[in-house]
Structure 1
Amino acid sequence: MTNIQGPAIFLAQFLGDQPPFNNLKSICEWAAGLGYVGVQLPTWDSRVIDLQKAAGSKTYADEIKGIVNGAGLQITELSSHLQGQLVAVHPAYDDLFDGFAPEAYRGNAKARTEWAVQQLKYAAKASQNLGLKAHGTFSGALLWHTVYPWPQRPAGLVETGFTELAGRWLPILNTFDENGIDLCYEIHPGEDLHDGISYEMFLEKVNNHPRACLLYDPSHFVLQCLNYLDYIDNYHERIRMFHVKDAEFNPSGRQGVYGGYQGWVQRAGRFRSLGDGQVDFKSVFSKLAAYNYAGWAVLEWECAIKHPETGAAEGAPFIKDHIIRVTEKAFDDFAGTGSDEKFNRKVLGLA
């Protein structure tokens, strides 16, 4: 077995215009001061990385890596969640998602998609230049508006949707393969890949592509009432990234999974800081360790109640305390008698 790496922190929710959150050097020093040893970088935020430049220049990539290493940290992975979302957008969501793209591409869905695809390809090369192994993203969605359909879905609609989605992602997956990077989809409501079944349908359409891997985040499964521990049993061979995020689901006679259009604080299901929700992290870390997950445990803070800096400060020791130092021997080795084939046959009465 291999020890899980960490604690690490995803910087997306902490970046801002005020120090120490306004540039890579200072935010890394802040994270290191809290006890983190790794940072996950959002590729859409120029305060921490120029993605195209990192893809085109090994020298620049080394500079970024040097800034992070100078704070005593490692880069765990890059994230392209916003760009991945734009690989597949149903027209009903065009205006809402336009803000994820540069202004030059807004109002032009075709150009926006082409930009997003290129961004993912840059991410593959940038990850290689940085010496990384995995990359996190979203799948985007063409079918989400039909997730609980009325009127019913037309026959063949899901098949057509996943065929199209796979066609858009296959060239990207091939680029990641060429660069030796696992592309990890965060399974998430709002994406066409939102649970195990939808991931399996996509995997079939991309011919079980070896780079079509998973970013595991149990919080999204709590809110779907999906068994997040069984999920590890089912898909551990594909899990290459891990967001450590907590959540709680408290249904009532007035609302359930869909939340009644309420804000995050008022919903039955909401994200919480680590230890404040319902995720059984002892079991999560135990299962991942048993299945030899060798990647990073990365805090993603999205609490509806607690201040982000408090959540970050509490997150590092929480993750550190849950990482299991795996054993190199069995507890009953002291009682072993040794064996060989002849002895084993004797024990079985076959001598």
Structure 2
Amino acid sequence: MAAGWGYDGMELACWGDHFDPERAASEDGYTRGVHDTLAKHGLSVHAISNHLVGQATCDPIDERHRQILPEQVWGDGRPGGVRHRAADHMRAAAAGAAALGVEVVNGFTGSPLWSAVYPFPPHTADLVDRGLREFADRWNPILDAFGAAGVRFALEVHPTEIAFDSASAGRALEALDGRAEFGFNYDPSHLAYQGADYLGFIHEFGDRLYHAHMKDVWWADSPRRGGVHGGYLPFGHPDRAWDFRSVGRGRLDFDAILRALDRVGYAGPLSIEWEDPGMDREHGAREACQRLRELTFPPAGAAFDEVFSEPGTTAWRAGKARPGYRGSAGTGSPSAGTSAPSPADDSAPAGAPQNSSSPSS
């Protein structure tokens, strides 16, 4: 089904029965079975996602986490033990990704600072510094495992994480001394409705964009009962001030996004994370892939007016073109989203369904 819609690959989730990183790292034949299953459906794999367990590495743990964590990670529910087991599982994700042959694990970090984001009671610079040090203390050992495995972690910049806009993303990188194992899964839908500069993020962190989710978002021009924080209203409620949309049906400028990704040399997958509370998911997955294919294009190798230039004076874009996307990705549940097409080859099919139950909504 997914390949027939134009997808060429998947971003496998480390929850449900999609991908078990611990089995991948320790069980002979497990990853071959994953590749064989995907190949049978005309698909490949470009990344794995471990958002749910990653959330528990830095969060203050409460009963909400039990519904998203595997039983072996939740255990007795004592916060210290949950965070410790979550960190072990993230290290296993690095080993599992390497065994599968992928170079990126997408996910969340949680945050010891989220309750202090709104500045009342006032937060001090020292409180923020301590929270960032705690994040670094918890994540540096995890990232050591990523480095040993030759795999990178891509944080989906998102409310409730240590980084949720450009300013906080910069602080997170500084806290880790800029180590190369840590970068970002670019998802503009989590930035724009906040008023954050979703195009500026690409230019500021271009060399740290290890993966990209293509998902649209709509926000209201006029005041609504539920503001930017949602007012406890469910997705799709007419009183919300913003909601996720299928690609091309929100307010994001995807042509500008793709051109910005070209300029910074992004060469990874465009993974359609499909979430739209008002649309049938299969219709949306098919339509989103078609729309993104219509927008993607091979980047210019040189300026269109280069013919008028003196030898050796080619325009600034020459040499800056991305080498071509590896393909698309998505998480493996028929209940959800999809992955994006490869703009480097118009004849190539694109990714596969992504799990709509992902908290990266």
Q: What's 1:309 paired with?
A: 282
Cα deviations across residues 144-168 of structure 1 (Å, max 9, x unaligned)?
Answer: 1121132212551111111001110
Q: What's 1:98 paired with?
A: 66
The answer to whether the 8 A contact 1:80-1:120 is kept is: yes
Question: What amino acid is aligned across from residue 85 of structure 2 in structure 1?
Answer: W
- 1:52 and 2:22 are equivalent in the alignment: yes
Find the aligned partners of 2:279 and 2:286 in 1 and give their Cα distance: 11
Q: Select the structure that is richer in helix.
A: 1
- Partner SS, residue 191 of structure 2: helix
Identical aligned pairs, as a percentage?
32
TM-score, length-normalised on structure 2? 0.81
What is the RMSD computed on CA atoms of the aligned residues?
1.8
Find the aligned partners of 1:309 and 1:154 in 2 and give their Cα distance: 47
- Partner SS, residue 148 of structure 1: coil
Unaligned segments of structure 2, at least 5 residues: 314-361
Q: What's 1:263 paired with?
A: 234
Which among 4, 19, 32 is matched to residue 3 of structure 2?
32
Q: Which has the larger radius of gyration?
A: 1
Cα deviations across residues 232-275 of structure 1 (Å, max 9, x unaligned)?
Answer: 11111100100000001115334431232222223101101111
Find the aligned partners of 2:42 and 2:261 in 1 and give their Cα distance: 26
The answer to whether the 8 A contact 1:246-1:271 is kept is: yes
Question: What amino acid is aligned across from residue 292 of structure 1 in structure 2?
Answer: G
- Partner SS, residue 100 of structure 1: coil
1:295 positional shift: 0.2
Question: What amino acid is aligned across from residue 283 of structure 1 in structure 2?
Answer: A
Structure 1 residues 153 and 334, CA, compared in 2 at 3 Å: closer, same or farther? Answer: closer
Q: What's 1:298 paired with?
A: 271
Instruction: Compare 177-186 and 65-74 and name the one that shifted more.
Output: 65-74
Structure 1 residues 265 and 333, CA, compared in 2 at 3 Å: closer, same or farther? Answer: same
Find the aligned partners of 1:262 and 1:306 in 2 and give their Cα distance: 18
Q: What's 1:127 paired with?
A: 97
Find the aligned partners of 1:135 and 1:249 in 2 and give their Cα distance: 30
Find the aligned partners of 2:186 and 2:59 in 1 and give their Cα distance: 23
- 1:41 and 2:12 are equivalent in the alignment: yes
Find the aligned partners of 2:243 and 2:292 in 1 and give their Cα distance: 20
Which among 328, 331, 339 is matched to residue 304 of structure 2?
331
Instruction: Compare 59-68 and 219-228 and name the one that shifted more.
Output: 59-68
Q: What's 1:71 paired with?
A: 41
Cα deviations across residues 296-318 of structure 1 (Å, max 9, x unaligned)?
Answer: 00010111211111111111112
Find the aligned partners of 1:102 and 1:332 in 2 and give their Cα distance: 57
Q: What's 1:25 paired with?
A: none
Question: What amino acid is aligned across from residue 110 of structure 1 in structure 2?
Answer: G
Mapping of residues 4-43 of structure 1, within 5 Å: 30-43=1-14
Q: What's 1:215 paired with?
A: 185
Question: What amino acid is aligned across from residue 246 of structure 1 in structure 2?
Answer: D
TM-score, length-normalised on structure 1? 0.83
Q: What's 1:197 paired with?
A: 167
Find the aligned partners of 1:337 and 1:165 in 2 and give their Cα distance: 52
- Partner SS, residue 223 of structure 1: helix
Unaligned segments of structure 1, at least 5 residues: 1-29, 341-351
